[in-house]
Amino acid sequence: MFSASTAIAIEKECATDAISEIFAHVKAPFLPYVETTVGALLPGLQHHWHDGIRKSSVAALLSFISTFHEMSDQPKWKKGAGGAPLSPNVAQLAGAILPAIVEMWEDEEERDVVNELCNSFSAVLMSVGPALLTKDYLEPVCKHLNDLLNRTAKCQLDDEDDGELTAGLAEQSEYDQALISSACDLVGTLATTLGGDFAPLFNTFLPAMASGYAPDRNTGDRSTAIGSLAEITNGLETAVTPFSDTLYPLFMAALADPEHEVQSNGAFAIGSLVYNSQADLSGQYLAILSALHPLFEASTKDNARDNACGAVARMVLKNAPALPLEQVVPLLVQALPLRRDFAESEKVFDAILALFQAQNPAVLGAVDHLLAVFAHALGSLTLTGEVKYYPDADAQITSETKDKLVQLIKHINASEPARVQAAGLVQYL
């Protein structure tokens, strides 16, 4: 029975997965079955010996909350504690599910179950928003996450060693690495949803997360640490300011990391810090630019170059006069279009628009190239505004960014229509 598996248990696991998918897609016609289904799934959280059923029960129950929220037709949540309350139906369902989830987390000994719990909790938070995080749930969730990050959770301990850690960091299992990554992602989601209200909690998470970027850690650990800290920086916005002195050297070290994956996260992180922090980092701009410069080389992988573009764009938007624009702008312009990380599109195009408005000579001298870049970006939207994907990536720009680009194209067309026509942009006028 220690790791037994039976056909019936596997059937239950598959049925649980299927039920959550059915509700997610059928919605209203499934409502008569919700109460019965939740009642059937809740016992699977703690009282079933098969870890696959516990894992599926967690994922299904949390997805039920997301589906209920989608059906409530509430406006998009705003970050920060104390926002708009949950709809009564969602609050009732969450009240039935979350206490059991939190209780289960305390005693769960299987890494993959806790891994699923972190991933599913992160997904429901991004769907429902911070109103889900009442004090009854926020405090225990933060405690469990701290245990995971410090590798003292039950699922990370070896009972045969009286609670001693099972292995040194260098021998960390793939399961444990995935678990730490999921825990860090959930911490990032807390920051994304709570915004500045997450700052007091960040004090407790920062030491363990920062220790993830250490010489004896593998590439996955280092990448996770910097990527998660970057997400938290974005989530905190200006509330990241008190942490600037701690985060800056970490992010600069990541830019010099031998692995491009870590460098890419470092570029995103340093750009986010410069943009969001109210600390005056302009004295570090030349050092940052020097660290970013290698990422603009032709041999650099696309995601790292795209994140470097995003970092430079954020510096332009934050304090353009502090930059040597005559050197920086040509470097940014020639690195476009973005090829992989299209989440950077908004800030990159905002910077380009700001430079056009400032009549920057380097931008004005690269109009033809930039019009081609705009055509590439606008190609990710149909004329009706629906998203259309490139064959090799989920490339897209938001409708808001599209509107900004179209306004600029119209402005250019007023004086140089031939250039706009040559770029194939007349259809957007």
Considering the domain architecture, whether residues 103 and 243 belong to the same structural domain is answered as no
CATH number at residue 352: 1.25.10
Considering the domain architecture, whether residues 374 and 342 belong to the same structural domain is answered as no
Q: What's CA 233's distance to the chain center, in Å?
A: 11
Whether the CB-CB separation of 36 and 99 falls below 8 Å is answered with: no
Q: Is residue 321 part of a domain?
A: yes
Q: Is residue 159 part of a domain?
A: yes
Nearest C-alpha neighbor of 132 from the set 93, 185, 183: 93
Whether the CB-CB separation of 268 and 255 falls below 8 Å is answered with: no
Considering the domain architecture, whether residues 282 and 346 belong to the same structural domain is answered as yes
Considering the domain architecture, whether residues 231 and 178 belong to the same structural domain is answered as no
Considering the domain architecture, whether residues 72 and 189 belong to the same structural domain is answered as yes
Distance, CA of 134 to CA of 138 (rounded, Å): 6
Considering the domain architecture, whether residues 1 and 94 belong to the same structural domain is answered as yes
Q: End-to-end alpha-carbon separation of the chain, Å?
A: 69
Domain boundary among 357, 375, 402: 357
Six token digits for residue 420: 């706009």
Considering the domain architecture, whether residues 154 and 85 belong to the same structural domain is answered as yes
Domain boundary among 327, 357, 387: 357
Q: Is residue 42 part of a domain?
A: yes
Buried b vs exposed e over 195-228: b needs ≥16 C-beta within 10 Å? bbbbbebbeebbebbbebbeeebeebbbbbbbbb
Distance, CA of 307 to CA of 304 (rounded, Å): 5
Considering the domain architecture, whether residues 351 and 371 belong to the same structural domain is answered as no
Six token digits for residue 24: 């997610």
Considering the domain architecture, whether residues 75 and 1 belong to the same structural domain is answered as yes
Q: Give me the tens of pLDDT residue by residue for the chain, a chain 429 residues long.
A: 334 457 788 888 888 999 999 999 999 999 999 999 999 999 878 756 678 889 999 999 999 999 999 999 888 899 998 778 899 999 999 999 999 999 999 889 899 999 999 999 999 999 999 999 988 899 999 999 999 999 999 998 864 444 444 444 544 567 788 899 999 999 999 999 999 999 999 999 999 999 999 888 889 999 999 999 999 999 999 999 999 999 999 999 999 999 999 999 999 999 999 999 999 999 999 999 999 999 999 878 889 999 999 999 999 999 999 999 999 999 999 999 998 889 999 999 999 999 999 999 999 999 999 999 999 898 854 333 333 333 333 446 888 999 999 999 999 999 999 999 999 999 988
pTM (2 d.p.): 0.88
How many residues are given for the chain? 429
| Neighbouring residues of 139: CB distance < 8 A, sequence distance ≥ 6 | none
Six token digits for residue 294: 């290698």
Considering the domain architecture, whether residues 306 and 385 belong to the same structural domain is answered as no
Q: Is residue 207 part of a domain?
A: no
Q: Which domain holds residue 240?
A: 212-357
Q: Is the Cα torsion angle 208, 214, 217, 218 positive or negative in sign?
A: positive
Q: Is residue 200 part of a domain?
A: no
Q: What is the pLDDT of residue 153?
A: 93
Q: Is the Cα torsion angle 331, 336, 340, 346 positive or negative in sign?
A: positive
Distance, CA of 107 to CA of 327 (rounded, Å): 57
Considering the domain architecture, whether residues 41 and 101 belong to the same structural domain is answered as yes
Q: What is the pLDDT of residue 171?
A: 45
Q: What is the pLDDT of residue 5?
A: 57
Q: What is the pLDDT of residue 369?
A: 95
Domain boundary among 194, 223, 248: 194
Q: Is residue 58 part of a domain?
A: yes
Q: Is residue 96 part of a domain?
A: yes
The 3-class SS string of the chain reads CCCCCCHHHHHHHHHHHHHHHHHHHHCHHHHHHHHHHHHHHHHHHCCCCCHHHHHHHHHHHHHHHHHHHHHHCCCCCCCCCCCCCCCHHHHHHHHHHHHHHHHHHHHCCCHHHHHHHHHHHHHHHHHHCHHHCCHHHHHHHHHHHHHHHCCCCHHHECHHHCCCECCCHHHCCHHHHHHHHHHHHHHHHHHHHHHHHHHHHHHHHHHHHHCCCCCCCCHHHHHHHHHHHHHHHHHHHHHHHHHHHHHHHHHHHHHCCCCHHHHHHHHHHHHHHHHHCCCCCHHHHHHHHHHHHHHHCCCCCHHHHHHHHHHHHHHHHHHHHHCCHHHHHHHHHHCCCCCCCHHHHHHHHHHHHHHHHCCCHHHHCCHHHHHHHHHHHHCCECCCCCECCECCECCCCCHHHHHHHHHHHHHHHHHCHHHHHHCCCHHHC
Q: Is residue 205 part of a domain?
A: no
Structural domain count, the chain? 3
Amino acid at position 216, single letter: D
Considering the domain architecture, whether residues 328 and 399 belong to the same structural domain is answered as no
Amino acid at position 155, single letter: C
